[in-house]
Amino acid sequence: MERRNVGILGATGTVGQRFIQLLAEHPWFNITWLAASDRSAGKRFEDACSWKLETPLPQRIADMIVQPNVPDGSSTELPRIIFSSVDSDIARELEPKFAAAGCAVVSNSSAFRMAADVPLVVPEVNAGHLEAIESQATRQSFGGYVVTNPNCCAIGLVLPLKPLEDRFGIEKLFVSTMQAVSGAGYPGVPSLDILGNVIPFIKNEEEKLQEEIGKLLGSTDGRSFRYSDATVSAHCNRVPVLEGHTECVSIKLRTPATREEIIAAWQSFQPLSGLSFKLPSAPARSVEFLEAVDRPQPKLDLMRGNGMATTVSRLRPCSLFDWKFTLLSHNTLRGAAGCAVLNAELLAALGKFNFKRFPPVNANFASQDLVNA
Ligand SMILES: NC(=O)c1ccc[n+]([C@@H]2O[C@H](COP(=O)([O-])OP(=O)(O)OC[C@H]3O[C@@H](n4cnc5c(N)ncnc54)[C@H](OP(=O)(O)O)[C@@H]3O)[C@@H](O)[C@H]2O)c1
């Protein structure tokens, strides 16, 4: 695979730092451009960023200069692949401009997740949805496009749901989350609010989780999406855990399934094995099932599959629905940057990083022009 230059928009943030960690030594991608807010632009990256990860900031990245948050479509220095991790309001304004400048925007933000022609993708679940980029106005005119990955809880949840949907069908789902503080970005929830406490409200989170599962498990004709009609009810809670979202799930299936059949569906879930390329960030198993009664736990199971697997345990009968289980997923790896990197690897493998020449700068391209809403 040809090594391609990439940029990170929002590089100084919680997810942006994970992007740097995952991409600094990536075999297919090479970081050549970093941008953040006007507060950071023009500074050495090390001076603009308060690095919070356990691995050291690579010196080459530390010395890079943070660029302004605008695409310069005439410049050969702007990479054609932009990983985006900025707040939704900022993404709504900026991402269409990068797409109009001819870039593939691989986004973490919720701004365009539910747009009518923007794929919302977890590679193991709905890789076929990526075809919808060909309908985007910017793709047709300038070669650029936007692809999104779901909310952090939706990513962890949809991985074990997908094989159950395929084999038995999902009629109803109840999920209650316990979400880590890193999910709120940096500096996030004040320590005096979260230490020794549980906060039973995360703005817009329940709505996102409910609607995104419908799009992820739905189908596409390559131009538009048909949502799954599974009913999803979510409770979302912030808990004093640093990394790792835990979710308690009760599920009603359309066709009855035994415990053994459900476990077999999870253990045989290998949807990427048919690809001609092995995606470098794909875990050996996307769903890891444990029999232990007191797992999964963030302290013990967070890094399964290099932080890219959903760990599932406690599968038992449910007196309201059919079955219930508990899952754990790493919110800033699989739940954010890791999923976006896997999406980009899939786009590369599918030949979706073939572009037209850079178009003229079109800084006024508005978000409503991007989507066929
Ligand atoms: N944290 C998670 O677990 C998680 C999971 C899934 C999705 N997400 C989504 O990912 C996005 C980023 O989240 P985060 O947790 O990384 O947030 P964060 O830690 O607050 O980082 C925000 C980043 O955006 C930059 N920024 C702010 N204003 C900007 C502007 N006008 N133009 C360009 N860049 C600007 C900041 O740069 P400065 O340093 O210069 O201010 C910083 O790099 C959000 O949409 C969030 O919902 C987060």
CA atoms within 13 Å, Cβ hemisphere of 189: 25
Is any ligand 1 atom within 6 A of the Cβ of residue 71? Answer: no
Residue 90 CA to ligand 1 center (angstroms) comes to 9
Identify the pLDDT of residue 362: 61
Q: Could you tell me the residue range of the domain that residue 59 belongs to?
A: 4-150+336-370
Same domain, 115 and 183: no
> The whole model's pTM is what?
0.96
H/E segment holding residue 101: none
Question: In angstroms, rounded to a whole number, what is the distance separating the alpha carbons of residues 170 and 102?
Answer: 39
Is any ligand 1 atom within 6 A of the Cβ of residue 67? Answer: no
Helix/strand/coil percent split, the chain, to 5: 35, 20, 45
Q: Nearest residue CA, atom 28 of ligand 1?
A: 37
Same domain, 82 and 127: yes
Q: Nearest residue CA, atom 41 of ligand 1?
A: 37
Same domain, 282 and 362: no
Q: What are phi and psi of 369, to 5 degrees?
A: -80, -20
Question: In angstroms, rounded to a whole number, what is the distance separating the alpha carbons of residues 350 and 370?
Answer: 22
Three-class SS state of 169: coil
Same domain, 44 and 73: yes
Residue 91 CA to ligand 1 center (angstroms) comes to 9
Residue 86 CA to ligand 1 center (angstroms) comes to 4
* Structural domains counted in the chain: 2
CATH of the domain at 180: 3.30.360.10
Torsion of CA 283, 248, 114, 201, to 10 degrees: -130
Which residues participate in catalysis according to the annotation? 152, 245
Same domain, 293 and 172: yes
Same domain, 316 and 178: yes
**What sign has the CA pseudo-torsion 310, 314, 316, 318?**
negative
Identify the pLDDT of residue 31: 98
Query: For each of the chain's 373 residues, which pLDDT tens digit applies?
Result: 889 999 999 999 999 999 999 999 999 999 999 999 999 999 999 999 999 999 999 999 999 999 999 997 556 689 999 999 999 999 999 999 999 999 999 999 999 999 999 999 999 999 999 999 999 999 998 899 999 999 999 999 999 999 999 999 999 999 999 999 999 999 999 999 999 999 999 999 999 999 999 999 999 998 889 999 999 999 999 999 999 999 999 999 999 999 999 999 999 999 998 888 899 999 999 999 999 999 999 999 999 999 999 999 999 999 999 999 999 999 999 999 999 999 999 999 999 998 877 776 665 666 767 765 4
Q: Which of 8, 9, 14 has most ligand 1 atoms within 8 Å of its beta carbon, as the pocket-test mutant? A: 14
Question: In angstroms, rounded to a whole number, what is the distance separating the alpha carbons of residues 56 and 34?
Answer: 17
Identify the pLDDT of residue 373: 44
Q: Which residues contact 293 (CB under 8 A, 6 or more apart)?
A: 313, 314
Same domain, 315 and 172: yes
Is any ligand 1 atom within 6 A of the Cβ of residue 10? Answer: yes
CATH of the domain at 129: 3.40.50.720
Same domain, 164 and 215: yes
Same domain, 256 and 361: no
Same domain, 62 and 166: no
Same domain, 146 and 156: no
Residue 122 CA to ligand 1 center (angstroms) comes to 20
Same domain, 139 and 170: no
Identify the pLDDT of residue 153: 98
Question: In angstroms, rounded to a whole number, what is the distance separating the alpha carbons of residues 20 and 29?
Answer: 11
